[in-house]
Amino acid sequence: MTETVTDATTTTTTTGAASAIRRVGVVGSGIMGSGVAELCARAGLDVVVQVSSAGSLVTGPQRLTRSLDRGVAKGKLTEQEREATLGRVSFTRDLDELADRQLVIEAVKEDERLKLELFATLDKIVTDPDAILASNTSSLSIVRLAGATDRPGHVLGLHFFNPAQVLPLVEVVDSVLTEPRVSDRALAFVRDVLGKKPIKSPDRAGFVVNALLFPYLLSAVRMLDSGLATAEVIDDGMVHGCSHPMGPLRLADLIGLDTTVSIAQAMYEEFKEPLYAPPPLLLRMVDGGLLGKKSGRGFYAYG
């Protein structure tokens, strides 16, 4: 769809700005990084995924292939589309291979120091002065990430939801330094190229969705910890009583309990509201390596 904005002197076609982005870089090949890479490749874009280890050069492509195979099995992709998508994605350990990218989306661990170092490095590597540097952070300050670069006006948040290739929403998060034309270009890219539903979210810990979601998840953990109800009862109550597609404790397992703690801590640090504080049970589970579905055990056991 083409959206044309006209005033007395100019006419701008947002689709043209969005379609100019053809080369995308993704940093990280975990659940979110691989999902974003698949989404971009299925939209016909050339995608380079940078990974941090030799092992990820194996597991990253495997994760992408498994996801595409599921799409074929469910009739959502043809074999030809699967092969074409795989052909658009390459994996590398070398950040320098992102030098020619027009958009780089960071999807690494929710660790502010790690992300700050990454943005400072990307700023030196990416050569296109119009390139957008985006973070998939769930809760961290976009303006702080932007401050690690010499192009803060070209830094914003693109917060996808898991699984990124399936869920329709993307939060577009401007900092106080993001240039309006960069924000408009990102919105058009998400809507017109990726076919997702973008919403503008404030640069506040948790943005819009997680600021509403995480007090709910943490409340469920506190209810479990207090002994008022079992995990099954809590989840069944919300699924069958409130028509939620998934109960809060299964959802926390899917998000990752370590990620849940990181997001909760970032929100509590900013707002000092008790409802954002991670409960002791959650902290102990993470300390014990019970991270949810990705580790095989969280509030539930996974085979």
Cα angle 84-105-11, degrees, rounded to a multiple of 5: 85
State mean pLDDT over 243-262: 96
Same domain, 185 and 226: no
CATH code of the domain in which 280 resides:
1.10.1040.10
pLDDT digits (tens, 9 = 90+) for 87-119: 999 999 999 999 999 999 999 988 899 999 999
Q: Which band of pLDDT confidence, cut at 50, 70 and 90, is reported for residue 20? A: confident
pLDDT digits (tens, 9 = 90+) for 136-152: 998 899 999 999 999 99
pLDDT digits (tens, 9 = 90+) for 187-208: 999 999 999 999 999 999 999 9
Global pTM reads 0.88
DSSP symbols for the chain: ---EEE-SS-EEEHHHHHHT--EEEEE--SHHHHHHHHHHHHTT-EEEEE-SSTTHHHHHHHHHHHHHHHHHHTTSS-HHHHHHHHHTEEEES-GGGGTT-SEEEE---S-HHHHHHHHHHHHHH---TT-EEEE--SSS-HHHHHTTSS-GGGEEEEEE-SSTTT--EEEEEE-TT--HHHHHHHHHIIIIIS--EEEEE-SSTTTTHHHHHHHHHHHHHHHHHHTSS-HHHHHHHHHHHH--SS-HHHHHHHH-HHHHHHHHHHHHHHH--GGGSPPHHHHHHHHTT--BGGGTBSSSB--
Q: Which of 138, 141, 183, 201 is catalytic?
A: 138
Residues near 120 by beta carbon (within 8 Å), at least 6 away in sequence: 148, 149
Distance between CA atoms of residues 264 and 209, nearest Å: 13
Statement: residue 17 has pLDDT above 70: no
Same domain, 247 and 282: yes
Same domain, 238 and 151: no
138 catalytic residue (yes or no): yes
Is 300 within the bounds of a domain? no
Same domain, 9 and 133: yes
171 catalytic residue (yes or no): yes
State mean pLDDT over 223-236: 98
**End position of a domain, from candidates 169, 201, 233:** 201
Work out the percent of the chain whose per-residue pLDDT is above 90. 89
Same domain, 115 and 142: yes
What's the pLDDT at 139?
A: 86
Q: Residue 198: beta bridge partners?
A: 170
**End position of a domain, from candidates 201, 221, 243:** 201
Cβ contact 221:149 at 8 Å: no
Distance between CA atoms of residues 83 and 115, nearest Å: 32
Same domain, 130 and 274: no
Statement: residue 281 has pLDDT above 90: yes
What's the pLDDT at 16?
A: 58
Q: Residue 242 belongs to what domain range?
A: 210-292
Q: Which of 56, 135, 159, 183 is catalytic?
A: 159
Same domain, 188 and 216: no
State mean pLDDT over 261-288: 95
Residue in 34, 66, 45 with CA at minimum distance from that of residue 162: 34
Same domain, 18 and 152: yes
Same domain, 98 and 241: no
Residue in 85, 96, 126, 106 with CA at minimum distance from that of residue 30: 106
Q: Which of 29, 183, 210, 262 is catalytic?
A: 210
Same domain, 180 and 241: no
State mean pLDDT over 265-271: 93
Q: Is 53 exposed, middle or buried (0-12, 13-18, 19+ CB in 10 A)?
A: exposed
What's the pLDDT at 14?
A: 44
210 catalytic residue (yes or no): yes
Q: Which of 67, 171, 175, 183 is catalytic?
A: 171
CATH code of the domain in which 123 resides:
3.40.50.720
- Compute the mean pLDDT over every residue in the chain, rounded to the nearest whole number: 92
* Count of domains for the chain: 2
What's the pLDDT at 192?
A: 96
Distance between CA atoms of residues 230 and 41, nearest Å: 42
